[in-house]
Amino acid sequence: MPRPVTLLVLVALAGLPTLPALGQPAEEPKVEVVARGLVNPWGMAFLPDGRALVTERPGRLRIVNLRAGAAGAPITGLPPIAAMGQGGLLGLALDPDFATTRQVFLCFAESRDGGTGTSVFRGRLSASFAALEEGQVIFRQMPAGNTSRHFGCRLVFGRDGTLFITLGDRGNMEKEAQNLANHIGKVIRITKDGTVPPDNPFVNRTDAKPEIWSYGHRNVQGATLHPETGRLYTIEHGARGGDEINQPQAGRNYGWPVITYGIDYSGAKIGEGTRKAGMEQPLFYWDPSIAPSGAMFYTGDKFPKWRGHLFTGALAGQLLARLEMRNGQVIGETRMLEREGDRIRDVVQGPDGYIYLLTDDREGKLLRLVPR
């Protein structure tokens, strides 16, 4: 079969034809298994001592000792978590001042009146690393939904200390992604205590939720900051085709479900087409979909040729995509690890400069990529 074609949209050249770009033969690194036995791991962050803090979707937070290759006992003090369908304990982030505050932020599916919704919890990791203390929910996506799909749920701290939260359209409320009066299909920006930054784009509008940063998103499951500009980049799931990379800017509309490069799972058309005035074009999109997941820009010294490249895992695609960037635009894609056959849920650069991956499986693994 021919290799699937990845389609590149150059925003700077809007109006010109879409450029096809085939994934290039991969420069395959060596894959090492660091730990096994993780149950559907979803998110990962490195503690200052080099150990990895990992979420498991059924509702557990564990610390993995990379040298021993073993995960510790579940950390206590977590909120009640709705582990159903795509929901559960999902993304996480450490306070940028973690060495002082020991604060951990968790994104999770929460049961409440009306169904379930994405929420964010903050707690202080105890000195023994065994519990989260003084925990509180600092954000709740409103309204709740009656499905177990499209929770979004990546957390990224901006350089100014504000927290970005990615949210989905809950799978059956796609039209609400265009409605500024709710949190469905939005990227959210709040402070560490859950309050609204005064420079958010909709703080002075009575018809909009002040937490909203950008809107018109389907299901954002990858988010990271550009290492030079500090700008947020997100990666979201399309339907059949139309997975997108965006660089969400304050107050901008990213089109879902009015414009998309995908079609419905039934084969039916979605929305009005691929372009509309007042709606942003993606930096890059995939067709067919790969079901992208966690994302990061590489800045380490172990793979010097890859510095500045954007990485994302893929679930349905069972691969790691490396995207070469130039002037903020994607200029090429390389697909790696396709022979491994793993659903890659998260990709994180370790403090040692190696690349670490989580595989989404009931017998999930923490993998390390090293040069050959």
- The answer to whether the CB of 213 falls within 8 A of the CB of 201 is yes
* Residue 351 tokens, joined: 């403090």
Q: Report the SS3 class of residue 98.
A: helix
Residue 159, pLDDT score = 98
- In sequence order, the β-bridge partners of residue 163 are 157, 190
Collect the ranges in the chain with pLDDT lower than 50. 1-24
Q: Which residues contact 9 (CB under 8 A, 6 or more apart)?
A: 18, 19, 281, 282, 283, 284, 285
CA nearest to 91, candidates 238, 228, 219? 219
Place of tokens 């056959």: 341
Residue 1, pLDDT score = 32
pLDDT digit string, tens, across residues 76-124: 999 999 999 999 999 999 999 999 999 999 999 999 999 999 999 999 9
Q: Report the SS3 class of residue 116.
A: strand
CA nearest to 288, candidates 259, 314, 254? 314
Q: What is the 3-state secondary structure (H, E, C) of 282-295?
A: CCEEECCCCCEEEE
Question: CA 372 to CA 360: how far, in whole Å?
Answer: 25
Residue 359, pLDDT score = 98
- Count of alpha carbons within 13 Å of 112, Cβ hemisphere only? 14
* Residue 110 tokens, joined: 């929460």
CA nearest to 157, candidates 149, 167, 165? 165
Question: CA 332 to CA 257: how far, in whole Å?
Answer: 27
* Residue 106 tokens, joined: 């968790």
Active site residue 150: yes
- The answer to whether the CB of 154 falls within 8 A of the CB of 221 is yes
Residue 202, pLDDT score = 98
Catalytic residue from among 150, 183, 237, 309 = 150
Question: CA 333 to CA 324: how far, in whole Å?
Answer: 6
Distances (CA, A) of 171 to 141, 265, 346: 14, 12, 22
Place of tokens 């799978």: 171
Question: CA 106 to CA 222: how far, in whole Å?
Answer: 15
* Residue 186 tokens, joined: 């939005």
- The answer to whether the CB of 259 falls within 8 A of the CB of 272 is yes
- Count of alpha carbons within 13 Å of 21, Cβ hemisphere only? 19
pLDDT digit string, tens, across residues 116-163: 999 999 999 999 999 999 999 999 999 999 999 999 999 999 999 999
